[in-house]
Structure 1
Amino acid sequence: MAVRQAILAAMRRVRKKKDRRPRSVRMAVLLSVVFGSLIAVAVSAGLTVAVLSNYRNTVSLLDDKAVLLMRAFEDGLSRHLDPSRQAVTRLAKLYRDSDLTIGGASMQSILMGALIGRPGVDVVLVYGPELNWSGVIRDTDGTIRRISDRAPLSKKVIAKLRGIKADDGTRWTDLLYIPSAHTVYTSIAAPLERGGRIDGYLVAAISTERLSELTRELAVAGATAFILDGNGRLIAHSDAAALNLDSLRDDGHPTVDPARAGDDVLASRDRWEPIDGFPKTHKAGITIAEFDVEDGRDGAGPGPPVIILTSQLAGFGPQDWTIGMHLSGSDISSEIRRLWGSAMVGLGALVVAVLLSFWLARRVARPLARVSLQASRIANLDIEDVDDLPPSRIREIDTTASAFNRMLEGLRAFTTYVPRSLVAKLVRSGMAETTRSREATLTIMFSDIVGFTTLSESLSVQETAALLNRHFQILVACVEAEGGTVDKFLGDGMLAFWGAPDQLDSHADAAVRTAIAIGRALRAENEESAARGDPVLRLRIGIHTGPVIVGNIGTYERVNYTIVGDNVNVCQRIEAEGKVLAPEAEVAILASADTVTALSVAPRSTFAGSRLLRGRMTPVDLYSIDPATPETDLRPGAAADRSTEAPPEAKKGGKAVDLAADRP
């Protein structure tokens, strides 16, 4: 696994050098972003236009509604207060053009008739030269009676009346408290002038109780109407009866402090938050504000905000009045909530559309993602992990899948006959340069099963094939673990080499470590085979180092990456010497002096003698390597360490010899 990971890492580095490509993005992500963006832009544009249009329409409707409400309130008040002005104006003119006397019976009769003819007026009073007064009053039950009071007026009322000039006409005065009626009135006064001399004053008044009833009539359903004086004190309230406002009034305080009235909204006027965005109300002088009930002075729990509409009403007092209504935000903002509800529905539709586009993009990209995944596995030479692509209803994708599956079938056949490790090395090293035939010094290994011909006679074809496959699997794993290349299988034998295509400085060490690893693996496999009752194997291994020709050998139609040369034959002859030098060994490993001389490791070995190999004119020194050599002797540099520790009398000849100290 470590070798495979190293090979794959090297292949990736080579590919990165050779094929530098711009940064890529997954097709599913690209299609999702493109489809999602297009849909999001289209739906968002339509939703934005619809929401903005609906918002403008809604705001315009609420704007118009607020203006209509306040104009109706203002007009209603003016319509009910004007009769007082008319009564005073006509009576003052009648006095001026007649010989009526203040306090006379005729005057009282005229006042009585004026009150009867003006049902919207509650009191008509005449103030004499001494500013004592008399007049007629309408009680709450509708009865009209005469009243008089010799008590002097308050200094404030006296100042207001005396401030009226002969040519001033009518003037609205401060609220008037009449003790005998225990009622506060809003009043309008005019001088009784004759011949340029002011003989007294005429006052017509409407009770604040009637004014509160009027505000209740003018308020829309669910709203609370109110009238404040210029100082923000309460004159009239649509819920005056429930709040018992009249009990809070007297001559010193004809108006009521909102904090005492029991209306939390008016009591928290400093906490009102103005609301902008209503141009018509702003132009009409109407203010829209919002108040959060949970901030009220009585600690009321959370609830919908209160919407307050206010405007200034001039001409009915020394200072402008503030008239207004406050109503639950759940009523006035219902249109806004419906607007936002439709916006949320549109937003939800947008989210669903984008999600559907992502799903569609993934569905479209999924077959291509499968192709990409399987192609990457092919690139990593993990052919056994590559799956066939399923058919598709989309013609182009189905054609691609069919072609891919045919290609995969060919690759599987190809990898059956061409070692994947060799292909990986060639790809990593560069095909053109590496496969060119050249001479190189390599370390070669040849292995052969002892007595396999006799053994195979007792086995079936399937058993023989299974035995060889399992055996070669062990050998190939050991070779690839040390970076070797398996050239070919020759019957029950295997030819492998080190140093090409990978450049290995210690290819002799790698070959010896491989042979020892094969010996250990074969011993373990034999123990398991014996336990199962299967045949056990004995193996001969020959190792030799020398120059050979390596590269592509063959024709265009059929070519092999292989090694040829005399040293290949030498290696095979060395392996065959095992029949004589170690006929009973479970694993016989023979190495030439050329290999031993190149070692930096120090395996346990015995000089096996000089042998004249078939086809050679000079003898070859051979060494028998112990497959049980410990790992500590196989580390690089172990031979140099052993050379300083070896006794000087160590010598060849059938004994274990320190190779570093006794190489020919």
Structure 2
Amino acid sequence: MEGESGRNDESLPAGHRSFRVSLVLAFVGLIVVSVLIIGVQTYLANRQVVLDVSRSLVSRTADTVVAETHRYLTPAIQATEFLRVRFAGRQGMLDDRLETHTDLLGVMRTLLRASPDLAMLYVGDRQGRFLCVIRLPDGRLATRFIFRHGDGRKERWYYPVGSPVPEIHTREFPADYDPRDRPWYQGAQRDRGRFWTDLYLFASTRTPGVTVSTPVLDDQREIGSVIGADIAIHTLSEFLQTVTIGRRGFAFIVNSKVELVAYPNPQRLIPELMDSFQPVRVSDLDEPWVVPAVAVYRQNTRTSAWRFMAGDEDYLVQLKDLPPETGSDWTVVVLAPERDFISGIKASQRTSLVITLVILLGATVIGLHLARGISRPIEHLAREMRRVEQFDLESPVVIRSRISEIHQMVAAFTSMRHGLGAFSRYVPVHLVRQLLARHIEPKPGGKPCCMTLLFTDIQGFTALSHTVDPATLMIDLSEYFDWLSRIISRHHGVVDKYMGDGLLAFWNAPEGDAEHADHACQAALECQAAVDQLNARRTAAGKYPLVTRIGIHTDDVVVGNVGGSDRLNYTVIGSGVNLASRLEGANKELNTRILISEATRQHLSEARRATLVDQGEIALRGAAGPIRVYSLAAADVPVKRV
């Protein structure tokens, strides 16, 4: 045994050592590292428990804010829906006389009194009339009515008490307000459903708020009017002031434009220049950890919860969208510094961790070095094996290791890869990858499938083969087939076989392709363009051109494995294959280059159908009767558009 071991050692390249020795050294290093793992286990376990509790607290806080916001918005939603149903009987139109809307005014006043957070309720119709009940700063309810008068419109204000219409003061003047020009009207009209405006300042109170609106349809399903409700946002901001998460955490609300809707400090929602109000974007805040939180939120495509770092601190973030039934694009954001929750644990564990780290520092360096020497080449080799699993045989294998067993594995793997690379020249690699990905077993058998078949042939090849040296002809055909095969593969097709100067390809197997007919037609057009380019080069070099004809047919055929026990061919069988070949030959009679059948046309998109040229009905050998055929307009002179 010693002599055999010695002979093996002598055969190793210089500088290599036994994998066993490396494994022993790595095991010793792992024992040392285990001490470190035991030392920090308590800290990590306690920290995880606290973080889980804090995440749960942040999530519950977000749920609470969502529920409160939903509760806050619900009266406005219910009010607009109630008025929409109530107003639908009027065909969605207002009248120019206020007294005809006494009942409607009563309902609007009742809804406003029942919902203190509603600032206004109003209706605007498609002729520019406008009826509004507004809550004044002193709490009284006023009525604003815009009606048609002659060739124009007038605006009248009522300040009633008790009943809907009694007037204690009225003022009237020409109306310059048109509800049809307002975002709340246009948004509901455009969406034909509930619409929420962006944040803006109410003209009456100079406080921020939003409007929810909904359209009223007449009997012809046309929008007769739009009902709106204004909601002041300051109550939501006041509620957010009461939300506490740890010592420094808080919650706020943003819309899909990442603009602030509600914030614990309501003054942040109102810019200093009141005459040019613009919603405040989160990026405008000077909070050092709020802006990065929303930036990470946008990069994570609305992931609901995560951690991120800003400065030297980690933060917990929770996002919750409002329920879909609100129709709002608002999102609740809850932020809390992680340190607020784990600072106590860090203080208690710091001393023990420092001591453990000092003791194990030297052993860790050795262990990491050995682990790196073992794991890197093995991981690299595993990645290369995964590439081979996907039949990726083109990338070079460069794996260096001082461990002899790994060196031998790499050598064997490289030899195997070279062998597979040589073998891949005889099989369609793209097809093998698809078969492997779909876990199709290599055994005889097939299944019916609707597929698009493409058949090509070179015009006058028989005569050409008698005049050109066979070796030269084989090289020319190889270049020709390489061009066509690459184009077919790029358009999701599979090259079935080469038959002399012909080629058979198919689409929709083994991977499904909903646009298989379109892809086959596009591939045919690009093949002809490529052949034209190739022939231009050949003609310039004094060589014969390879004029190509293509036939395309879509039919139900059987696709699968056929062959003996030692060799299989993944192919298609059926009358559709012969028909594709007959279509290719019919190009000669019709003086075309690409012919497709009516069956293929039925599977094409409307855009592709528009490019076809109807060549009429022709009789094909093997077909039950005459079939209608088409050529692609990009390749032929148009005869009649389909």
TM-score, normalization by structure 1: 0.40
Q: Which has the larger radius of gyration?
A: 1
TM-score, normalization by structure 2: 0.41
